Structure 1
């Protein structure tokens, strides 16, 4: 099981990678709140996806988030590291189908 600090660092690493890729990819039409709920740690993070970027990451849940990733700490780290494809986590992501398609382009 990964630690809360490792998960926080992974999300910030993902945000940095998305920031770098956002300019090359062009603007992605997706502006949604995001919650990442870690079932094994009983913890959560939330932020916002906007313009192909992940911003305003902070501790705590956002029960009204438009996109929710409900997973374990190890799966989060594997997803961010590229060892686990987003398509294998479809059941762990709660979002409308159009947002899921846009997320695939983003990641």
Structure 2
């Protein structure tokens, strides 16, 4: 089971990957939205913002998200690490219910390039 530190490192790696991404992916991530990622098996939520194509994790909270973020993810820590490492396909994980993503329809269309 992934630890809180491994999950935070995975989110930092994701942010770094987004910084170095090509123009089309970076443009898709150029939203200014609040983001939360609830790690279900650890019952921890990472909360922050996506701005200028980068995710900035600002808080680590115990339990589920306290506020409804614009973009909400929920998954196990192992799935987060596997997604960021490229070992788990996002579309398959989302389709099977292993990963939950909730966002407005317009944001989902833009985010599909990132995922």
Which residue among 64, 70, 78 is the counterpart of 2:68? 64
Q: CA deviation at 1:62?
A: 5.0
Match status 1:94 vs 2:102: yes
Distance in structure 2 (CA, Å) of the matches to 1:65 and 1:83: 27
Q: CA deviation at 1:27?
A: 3.0
1:37–1:71 Cα contact (<8 Å) kept:
yes
Unaligned runs of 5+ in 1: none
Aligned residue pair count: 106
Aligned pairs for 1:27-106 within 5 A: 27-28=27-28, 29-60=30-61, 61-88=65-92, 89=94, 91=97, 92-106=100-114
SS at match of 1:18: helix
TM-score by length of 2: 0.79
TM-score by length of 1: 0.84
Aligned CA-pair RMSD: 1.9
Higher helix share: 1
